[in-house]
Structure 1
Amino acid sequence: MQVVSAAEVARYLTWEGLIKRLHTTFVNGVESPPRHHHAMYRPDGEATMLLMPAWETVGYIGVKMVNVFPQNAQHNLPAISGLYLLSEGKHGQPLACIDGSELTRRRTAAASALAAKALARQDAETLLVVGTGKLAPMVIEAHASVRPIKRVLVWGRSVEKAAAVANAYAERFDTQVVGNLQSAVAQADIVSCVTLSTEPLIKGEWLVPGTHVDLIGAFRPQMRETDAECLRRADVFVDTYAGAKGEAGDILQAIEEGAFRFEDIKADLAEVLLGARPGRTAEDTITLFKSVGASLEDLAAAIEVWEAINE
């Protein structure tokens, strides 16, 4: 069995290759049972273990184990860590143990970029990144691979961390640290949220026509990055219906508040990519993509790494 390091994942998972692989996997589909979600109560706060299996009907088999420790920010450590076990499909023999943290970062950003390719305006040039964790650089790179991003605004609770993200990309883009979210949202063509917030950060009244909102961070029902008005004003799309119904806090809390219905979701990503349902319908439409992560994305990324390394 081959061990694939984080550096190798970063090397072999190109944005073009990964986004193309995700597109194919969403269209073709895989078997992906609901992920196992286990709360773990630690001395310094609650953590989460996720187990995410998926397999092709004829082909690869995989499962990811992820530990989510929000309190790691206090120790300057990543909030998310894990590993992915990829097996061949004929006899079920393990092929590779792949660094799960880098795999997750890249497939998460790539899935949002794939959605933005279908939902964001083609001339989207300004990206607002809300959050400064390990995913922030990934969404910058991924979105820039599908849209002509020229300007990147970065907001974070820590000005120092926001500056670090902005400075890292200052040679490629016109970057700026922003302190006023309302003003920043008004300037953005794409708003990408990558936080572990449990309170709304983005308000619907701030959104301007034509904006695409990308929600990545809230992966549990009690978490959210937007208020209900954002969903009420937008055409809402999700990565999968099952994930949205079980874990998308932005959607579930808006439903509880009576401002949204599950039936108001326009489509999941597969339906848009297949052409079964439309994506963006007008230049001034506000679109919103809510992702909680899907095991098919991990399987697609793991296959892409494995085949790229062994081609």
Structure 2
Amino acid sequence: MRILDKPELEKRLPWNALIDAIAEALREGKVQSPQRQVLPIAMPDGHTANLLLMPAWVSGEAIGVKAVTYFPQNPEKGLSSINAAYLLFDGATGQLKAVAEGDALTERRTAAASALGARYLVRPDARRLLIVGTGQLSIPVAEAHAAVRDYAEIAVWGRKAEKAQAVADALKAAGLPATTADNLEAAVRAADTISCVTNTTEPLIMGAWLSPGSHLDLIGAFRGDMRESDDEAVRKADIFVDTREGATLAGDLAQPLDAGVIGLHDIRADLAELATGAHPGRTDDEAVTLFKSAGFALEDLAAARLAAG
């Protein structure tokens, strides 16, 4: 049995190889991945935490399951809001093959799936990337996007300037052209790609700010009461998702769907349709594209199999 901690996962899951592994799993179409279970846990202090269970398997080849806890109040205690573990079993014998540190696996597969969407939806000449949010996904998401497009500038915006500076410094140390953004509206208007990794329940990105040809990547809000973009952003964009089942439960799409701002027919394609070529992705350099991801178990299984070797 292999133990895969964060340094080992980072070594075994280079961005382009991981992005390709997720794309290949989508093209093969063999992974069975039921919709994840999100179980609310009422805490004694009145807050609500979540336990997420995400199984997936390829018959006769591999079985995997991830257990994730989400405690939104943890950052106030200096702790990570997301904690997880992944178990990978041999699909032919049922024997345990690997145990992976779930936080790092989630970070890398989430960033890789976002970057895979960007392969099809971000203009090839995109030069300015904006990262909105300074949590644990901000650095891997910036790195993954930089692996699929040659950005001349990567700006980081956060509610706290010192955290944005820390993220920018880490990206610069990794050799990326990072800086901070003080004014969110100005940064969005100037960006070719905007990637949001926050846990906000109130929209941060206004559709009126999105420039023609830009791409809005929404990662952070996974519950129905969470939302990173307003109605106008969703209304004006060509909408793409990782999966229809998962993405439409997240507030960025669930709320405008419930309000009749958009309909299910407005979702152009999911990630599998992009990866298989069933949909060409971006077809208009002036269009605003939007990719909403909520995460799904195929990504975890593809990442774990690649890491376990």
Give me the TM-score of the superposition, normalised by structure 1: 0.96
**Is 2:22 aligned against 1:22?**
yes
Identify which of 86, 89, 95 aligns with 1:87.
Answer: 89
Counterpart contact for 2:120–2:280, Cα < 8 Å: no
What is residue 215 of structure 2 aligned with on the other side? Answer: 212
Task: State how 1:152-191 maps to structure 2 within 5 Å.
Answer: 152-170=154-172, 172-191=175-194
* Residues in 2 aligned to 1:209 and 1:96: alpha-carbon distance in whole angstroms: 45
CA shift digits 1:227-272 (9 cap, x unpaired): 0111111100000111123x22100111122211111100001111
CA shift digits 1:47-76 (9 cap, x unpaired): 111000000133111000000111111022
Gaps of 5+ in 1: none
What is residue 126 of structure 1 aligned with on the other side? Answer: 128
What is residue 57 of structure 1 aligned with on the other side? Answer: 59
* Residues in 2 aligned to 1:69 and 1:89: alpha-carbon distance in whole angstroms: 32
Shift of residue 179, structure 1, vs aligned partner: 2.3
Identify which of 68, 71, 78 aligns with 1:69.
Answer: 71
Counterpart contact for 2:217–2:290, Cα < 8 Å: yes
Identify which of 98, 114, 117 aligns with 1:115.
Answer: 117
* Residues in 2 aligned to 1:157 and 1:42: alpha-carbon distance in whole angstroms: 26
What is residue 262 of structure 1 aligned with on the other side? Answer: 264
Identify which of 103, 106, 116 aligns with 2:105.
Answer: 103
What is residue 202 of structure 1 aligned with on the other side? Answer: 205
* Residues in 2 aligned to 1:209 and 1:58: alpha-carbon distance in whole angstroms: 47
Identify which of 213, 225, 230 aligns with 1:227.
Answer: 230
SS in 1 for 2:73: helix
Gaps of 5+ in 2: none
The share of aligned pairs that are identical, in percent, is 50
Counterpart contact for 2:2–2:308, Cα < 8 Å: no
C-alpha RMSD over aligned residues = 1.1
CA shift digits 1:281-302 (9 cap, x unpaired): 1111111000000000000000
* Residues in 1 aligned to 2:244 and 2:59: alpha-carbon distance in whole angstroms: 21
**Is 2:272 aligned against 1:244?**
no
Aligned residue identity for 1:295: A
Q: Number of matched residues? A: 306
* Residues in 2 aligned to 1:224 and 1:196: alpha-carbon distance in whole angstroms: 8
Identify which of 261, 285, 296 aligns with 1:283.
Answer: 285
* Residues in 1 aligned to 2:38 and 2:144: alpha-carbon distance in whole angstroms: 27
What is residue 7 of structure 1 aligned with on the other side? Answer: 7
CA shift digits 1:25-52 (9 cap, x unpaired): 1111210111111011223421111000
Aligned residue identity for 1:3: I
* Residues in 2 aligned to 1:219 and 1:293: alpha-carbon distance in whole angstroms: 8
Give me the TM-score of the superposition, normalised by structure 2: 0.96
